[in-house]
Each structure stands twice: as C-alpha cells, then as structure tokens.
Structure 1
C-alpha cells in the first residue's frame, strides 16, 4: 500500500489545530473576533439548517475555500489577511478539520474548526435558522 489513509491525514491535520467547542466558537464570532465559515454544500444546509444570520456566518463551499481565503489571490474575500481568525464549520467536524489545516498551510495561522461541527452547534442550542427562514429574512 502506498500513501496515507484518511484517518492518518485527519489526525495529522488535527494535531496542528487548536479546535474549538461550539460554544467557544459562538463566543468568538459573537464578539467579532473571528469569521465563522460554513463549508457545507447548499443541500446539506437546506436539510440541516444554518447558523443564524445575526452572527454573520459566511458560506464558502469547500471547493473554493482556499481561493477565497488566500490573501495572494485575486478571488480573496475583502478583509482577509494572514492574521484573520477563521473558524471553519462543516456538518460533523471532519471536513472542517482538513479545511482549516489547508488554510493554515496557506499562512492563515489562526484558522481552526469546531469539534462536532454544525451538529454540535445545534446540539448546544446555539442560534440556528432553517434555510426557508433565511429566505424570508
């Protein structure tokens, strides 16, 4: 066998992150100290719900994340710099670990993710909205 399995890749990525609980992430985002970035696909957000719009979550699907957060790219989001605190959120906290580690590899040394992802966020009773509620807002 050649290469590294996904379990090893995930463990390596997480060894480089200081992961946050859902409540810790909520506190940072609420205080304005961090950007919360939901990388889940639209269908998953529609089915499971989203972080409430009052917390200004960014939706940047996984396939474009690096381009939107690399300060060297023309496609970078306004205001993103190497010191930007980015908290990545996926459904259960697996893909977000890999994504946050990728951002750290680009030089965003303060990137991290949420242990347990959106499921933990919702499970902690933190502010959420269904996609249909977001469309009415």
Structure 2
C-alpha cells in the first residue's frame, strides 16, 4: 500500500517543502499532539490530525476548512514520512491532485537544520 501510494506522489525534500511553503503551499502536520509535544513543530504548518484530515480538506465536505479547493498545493507531514504518504494519496483520491508529502517527515526537516519550535 505504501509503495503504491508513493508511486503516485512527487515527494518533496525538506528544502523543496520550505520553498513550496514560501510560494503558498500549505504544509499540514498530521501527527498527534503527544508526538508534536515530544519532538517539536514546523513553524507555519497547519495542524490537522490524521483522523480528521479528509473531511477537513475535502472541498465537498460541510466540515471543510474555508481555504480548501481542488487546486490546493498541500504537503502532508508526519514524523518520518510513512503515514504522510498514505494520507497524501487519500487526498488525491478526494480530487486534491496536487497533494504530496514531505519525504522523511518532521525528522528529515529537523535533520536538515530547518526551523522548529
């Protein structure tokens, strides 16, 4: 399942993710609160835990966030880049065809020396 999901994505490195965010892409952190508290957060990332991701970003959902649309550039991150690949593929299934993920997740971002809080 992971291999099939990743085959559909153009996964981004931490530096590519940072550049995409500067251009207006939305970085979504799907990690649970305990994991964010233990490891830190990426400044500017939107927190949407995995269990509510689809209904918050599905443009057809009554519970969608106001900025959600089919052309949204969305990058999903988790701790190490596994769950985020599956989540990004699920967003593509909803029609968000630009959805992808941060390869290596938060751990790769942190290892790259990029800002955390």
TM-score computed with the length of structure 2 as normaliser: 0.98
User: Could you tell me which residue of structure 2 aligns to residue 77 of structure 1?
Assistant: 65
Paired with 1:74 and 1:111, the residues of 2 have a C-alpha distance of 20
Bigger helix fraction: 1
Paired with 2:67 and 2:84, the residues of 1 have a C-alpha distance of 21
TM-score computed with the length of structure 1 as normaliser: 0.84
Paired with 2:22 and 2:80, the residues of 1 have a C-alpha distance of 21
Aligned positions, number:
117
Displacement over 2 Å in runs of 4+: none
User: Could you tell me which residue of structure 1 aligns to residue 38 of structure 2?
Assistant: 47
Paired with 1:29 and 1:126, the residues of 2 have a C-alpha distance of 13
User: Could you tell me which residue of structure 1 aligns to residue 79 of structure 2?
Assistant: 91
> Which segments of 5 or more consecutive residues in structure 1 lack a partner in the other structure?
1-8, 130-137
User: Could you tell me which residue of structure 1 aligns to residue 12 of structure 2?
Assistant: 20
Deviation at 1:48, TM superposition (A): 0.3
Deviation at 1:57, TM superposition (A): 1.2
CA RMSD of aligned residues (A): 0.6
> Which segments of 5 or more consecutive residues in structure 2 lack a partner in the other structure?
none
Paired with 2:115 and 2:65, the residues of 1 have a C-alpha distance of 25
